[in-house]
Structure 1
Amino acid sequence: MARNRSDSPWTWRWRRNPLKRASDVVEAWIVLVTWLLAVVGSVLTGLVTADAVARGLDRQWTERRPVEAVLVGQVPSATSARSDDGRVWAGVRWTTPDGAVHSGRTKVRPGTASDTRVTVWTDQRGRVTAKPLSPGEAGFRSAWTGTLVATGTAAAVFGGGRLARAGLERRRLRQWDEEWARVDTRRGGLTS
């Protein structure tokens, strides 16, 4: 027997069928809404998140300033207190345009001489902070974060749709049990 195009396993809930139950129609709507929410919702949340991250990373360039600082004290050698990127922490001191003297710590190459000038990045309060990300790094980070949020949103929507369908399935099984119990008691016994 040849299959008709309208015999798709995905569309049977939408066609007329005397065996179709109300729960089948509800399940069809749940599947449709789940897919629509997953596609549209994940794209929107991903774009909004990527934009928010990009704006936050762009704001770093306006809130952070490079400052010339001077190394103070002994800079550790390569064999002591080494960090994961090959640089070591050392004390620095700098003066702001208003004449205030600040001090902090930054990473430098091991064995750098004391009184060497280095560039540190400071925030609006004058505290040492990390250098802002380059435009390429910021673009990658915002796109990656948006992708992760979009994926998480889609997973959450599909999970919710699956839970709703599982509830419908439990309800259908209970209804079938009740129907079988009624059929069995009409004949004078219980099936086991």
Structure 2
Amino acid sequence: MPLKAFRGPKVWLWRWRRNPLRRRADVVEAWVVLGAFLLTVLAGVLAGLAAAGAVEHGLARERTLRRPTVARVVTPAPAKSAAREDRASAGERGWTEVRWTAADGSAHTGRIRAGSGSGPGTPVTVWTDPRGRLVERPTTASEAALRATLIGLLVGVSAAAVPCVAGLAVRGRLERRRMRAWDTEWARLGPQWGRMV
């Protein structure tokens, strides 16, 4: 509390006001802080929006290219073993080989995870690309929006960190320079104080 009495009231934007005690270093520091703040906000927002837009566009394109296709089980999926029966869930899935026909009429085979006990000829839905190859199920629009938002936030914060850290580094350097100048002045004028009293 007593320290506040020595500081006096807080004056906003004092580095830009006319004041005989204001030094050139104070003005430079004020501009550095303002520039770093503006660059931090701009870099974060622009990079985040660009990354989110790119991710969402890519996932939307992926949704348009991937198609569900009906495939038939070729080899039966492994049935639940008696030892694992007690801890196995009702939706347990095992690897099995399936066959499907692509849009161009070519036959394809691949391995997928299907419900345990699926017999030969059982229809299953698989996702394929335009060339008929197996691919992962595309993300839904809501999953894509969430993923784009999270990646946009991560990229935005990462991009904003660069000008923020640079501004702090420049400000620290200015502070050290100002302290050296103050030490030099004090070394020159300090011994004269004793003679004035």
Is 2:142 the counterpart of 1:136? yes
SS in 2 for 1:13: coil
SS in 2 for 1:57: helix
Q: 1:186 to 1:88 in 2, by over 3 A?
A: farther
Report the Cα distance in structure 1 between the residues aligned to 2:121 and 2:68, rounded to whole angstroms. Answer: 18
Q: 1:183 to 1:77 in 2, by over 3 A?
A: farther
User: Any residues of structure 2 matched to 1:7-26 within 5 Å, and which?
Assistant: 8-26=10-28
User: Any residues of structure 2 matched to 1:30-41 within 5 Å, and which?
Assistant: 30-41=32-43
Partner of 1:76: 78
Query: Contact (CA 8 Å) 2:103, 2:132: kept in 1 or not?
Result: no
Question: For 1:167, which of 163, 166, 173 is the aligned residue?
Answer: 173
Query: Contact (CA 8 Å) 2:75, 2:119: kept in 1 or not?
Result: no
* Stretch moving more, 156-165 or 71-80: 71-80
Q: 1:87 to 1:24 in 2, by over 3 A?
A: farther
1:44-103 C-alpha deviation (Å, 9 max, x unpaired): 2222221111110110122212111112223133449x9xx9433322211223332211
For structure 1, the residue ranges without an aligned partner over 5 or more in a row are 1-6, 188-192
Structure 2: which amino acid aligns with 1:168? L
Partner of 1:56: 58
Report the Cα distance in structure 2 between the residues aligned to 1:42 and 1:22, rounded to whole angstroms. Answer: 30
Q: 1:14 to 1:177 in 2, by over 3 A?
A: same
Q: 1:96 to 1:72 in 2, by over 3 A?
A: same
SS in 2 for 1:102: strand
| Bigger relative contact order, structure 1 or 2 (CA pairs below 8 A, ≥6 apart) | 2
Q: 1:74 to 1:15 in 2, by over 3 A?
A: same
Q: 1:10 to 1:107 in 2, by over 3 A?
A: farther
Structure 1: which amino acid aligns with 2:66? R
Partner of 2:102: 96
Structure 2: which amino acid aligns with 1:18? P
Query: Contact (CA 8 Å) 2:95, 2:111: kept in 1 or not?
Result: yes
Query: Contact (CA 8 Å) 2:126, 2:134: kept in 1 or not?
Result: yes
CA RMSD of aligned residues (A): 2.7
